[in-house]
Each structure stands twice: as C-alpha cells, then as structure tokens.
Amino acid sequence: MTDVTVVGGGVIGLTAARRLHEAGARVTVIAADPPEDTVSAVAAAVWYPAHQEADPRVLRWSAAAYQEFTRQAHDGVPGVLLRRTRMLLSTVPWWAAAAGDVTLLDDELRFTAPLVEMPVYLAWLARGLTIERRRISALDELPGLVVNATGLAARELAGDDAVEPARGQIVLVENPGLDVSIRDESRSLYIHPRSRDVVLGGTFEQGRGDLTADPAGAEAIRARCVEVEPRLAGARVLGSLIGLRPTRRGGPRLERQGNIIHCYGHGGAGMTMSWGCADDVMELALRVS
C-alpha cells in the first residue's frame, strides 16, 4: 500500500491513521497540536450522533464505530468503557438501529453506550505512528496520498465555507459512585460517569468560536445536572473545559478528490462516527494506490 499523510491529530485523524497503518500503509500524521491539546481531548466522547441529520451514511458510520468500541471495551483497550444509558426521550430515534439493544420504557430510551476517556485513548491510537508537529498552509504542498482530517481548519485548507465552530462547555466533578449515563437533548444536558470523574454538560453554541472562560455557564450546567441526579450535589468540582466542535452544514464530508481524501465536519459526533469513517478512508486509499 502507498505512503499516506494524515493531516490532523484528533480522533478522526488518528483513527484513520490507525486503520491505514493496520492495512500496511506507511503513515505520517501531521498535526499542529499534540493529541492532548485537540478538541477531541475536551470531548465527553460518549457514543451518540449528536446534532446529526437522519443520514444513511451517519447511521452506517455510527453502527460500525459502536461495534468497534464495544469490541475494544471487551478487549480492555485503555480508556474505553461501556455505560448503561438513560435518555429522556419518548420516541425511538432514527439512529437506534446502530445502538445495539435499545428499549423504550416510560419515556426513557435505554441502551448501552460506549464511552471513551479521550486523553488515554488518543495516546493509545497514536502508539507506533509517526507524528510530526507542524502547521501546513496548503494541502497540495504535501506529496502522495493525503487524508484531510483537519476539522475546523478545513474551512481554509479545503476552502469550505460550510465549516464553522460550535462552542461547547463541560464541567468535570468527582464521581460519587455513578455508573449510569443520563442524557436529555431537550435541555442540552448530559451526565457521563467515567472511571474517576463525571462529565457534566453542556452547551452547543453554533457559530461561536471563542474559548473565553464562562464560570456562570459552568455553574448553570452543574445546577441542571444536580436537578436530574441529586447525588451530584456534593461532588467536588474539578474544573470546566471549553472546546470548539468542527461542524459542517450538510453533514460530514468524506470523499476523494485526486490524491486528497477529505474527512471532516463531524461536529460533536467525531468519536461516534470515527471507526466507520476510518473504514471508508481506508477503502478510498486502497482505490487510489
């Protein structure tokens, strides 16, 4: 298989690089920032096609990622957990077919969702890969086959005006013993217990691209979550994080143009679609080689 350069060190870029590496490609990842400084590291990273339209591609990618994360959890891959989930919803959503055993009971959708502790998992994805820390000014300055997984930077690098940020804020608190995730999309609320902490969310501010600290917003998130899960009331706050999701009007872009494979625009569902998209990137790369 040919040499491949993957541009982007978040979950989409590293997952694609991992698949290509497993297929025998000589892969170099070029990233402006280390994985721990990407928006992927800020993400709650729980499987859910957040803010995605009912799209057969998204369903297929999400189903493939669900299966892969479930396998990884059973195999003990670092940072991958499975969490029973209560979603406050009165109808079965379009993506349910991708989520394994889904039950609707008393206005709650119940299923098991993969959850990834991103700092640990990104390091696992990056193992054995050649990673160069630098910025590029144009995709066509790179030789050979290129995977464009640049997220928000694709607005400039791919000339795609449909790409824009959606600002998100989360709060981290100590885990008081929770092991069930709760989600209520009508209130932009989620409670995701990890091994040592709980991710409380959140916000989705389309078009806002600043990272300005917002203590009042963090307190509002915590208060909403305590209302739903009172056991969080006494949990010590560990901090608040803000990240910019790489959204794209019209949904994610995954296609080949010449020697460039574009794979960006996943918004807040990068983890959810990651392995399915990586499989498609690999297939496109094989056709090019």
Q: Which domains does the chain have, with CATH numbers?
A: 3-288 (3.30.9.10)
Concatenated DSSP letters of 175-233:
-SS--EEEEEGGGTEEEEE-SSEEEEE---EET-------HHHHHHHHHHHHHH-GGGT
Q: What is the pLDDT of residue 286?
A: 86
- Give the model confidence (pLDDT) of 58-110 as tens digits: 999 999 999 999 999 999 999 999 999 999 999 999 999 999 899 999 999 99
- The H or E element that residue 253 is part of is strand 253-257
| 54/66 Cα distance (integer angstroms) | 17
Rounded to 10 deg, the angle between the 270-288 and 56-75 helix axes is 100
Q: How high does pLDDT run on average in the chain? A: 96
pLDDT tens by residue, the chain, 289 residues = 569 999 999 999 999 999 999 999 999 999 999 888 899 999 999 999 999 999 999 999 999 999 999 999 999 999 999 999 999 999 999 999 999 899 999 999 999 999 999 999 999 999 999 999 999 999 999 999 999 999 999 999 999 999 999 999 999 999 999 999 999 999 999 999 999 999 999 999 999 999 999 999 999 999 999 999 999 999 999 999 999 999 999 999 999 999 999 999 999 999 999 999 999 999 999 885 4
CB 202 within 8 A of CB 169: yes
Q: What is the pLDDT of residue 2?
A: 64
Q: What is the pLDDT of residue 218?
A: 97
CB 85 within 8 A of CB 190: no
Q: What is the pLDDT of residue 289?
A: 47
Which residues lie closer than 8 Å to 41 by C-beta, 6 or more apart? 35, 118, 119, 122
Q: CA dist 192 to 93, 94, 139, 197, 214, Å? A: 20, 22, 37, 9, 21
pTM of model > 0.85: yes
